[in-house]
Amino acid sequence: MGFLGKLFGKKEEEKAAKAGKVNVAAAATSAGIPPEKVGLDGLFDESGLAKRVALALDEANISDNVGLWVAQTGSTVVLKYNPDAAGVLEQAKKVAMGVSGATAVTAQPNS
């Protein structure tokens, strides 16, 4: 199980597998959904960006065995992390910034 399954559940992993790669720009334009709210299936999802970032972390083979969590505030990706995630944090930031709909990435130590 990767980040997507750990953070959002098995159903979201299944949804991502079934939908394939979603064209966020096209889904946002055709359905009038803000890009950060486009879900794994191209439909409205309040946590769409965070879920797509979690999937991108899985695809980048970043270990989900570290204390790293993904959230979003609007179009900003929030990475919360434990000290054991420090080694993958920079890579995770780069991956998150590359996800369509992300305008910024912040990292916050988990306290």
Residue 74's pLDDT band (cuts 50, 70, 90): very high
The first and second tokens of residue 28, run together, are 């946002």
Q: Are 60 and 91 in contact (CB under 8 A)?
A: yes
- DSSP letter assigned to residue 66: S
- Measured between alpha carbons, how far is 45 from 34 in angstroms, rounded to an integer? 10
Tell me the pLDDT band of 60, cut-offs 50, 70 and 90. Answer: very high
- Residue ranges covered by each domain of the chain: 3-109
For the chain, what percent of residues have pLDDT higher than 70?
100
pTM value is 0.95
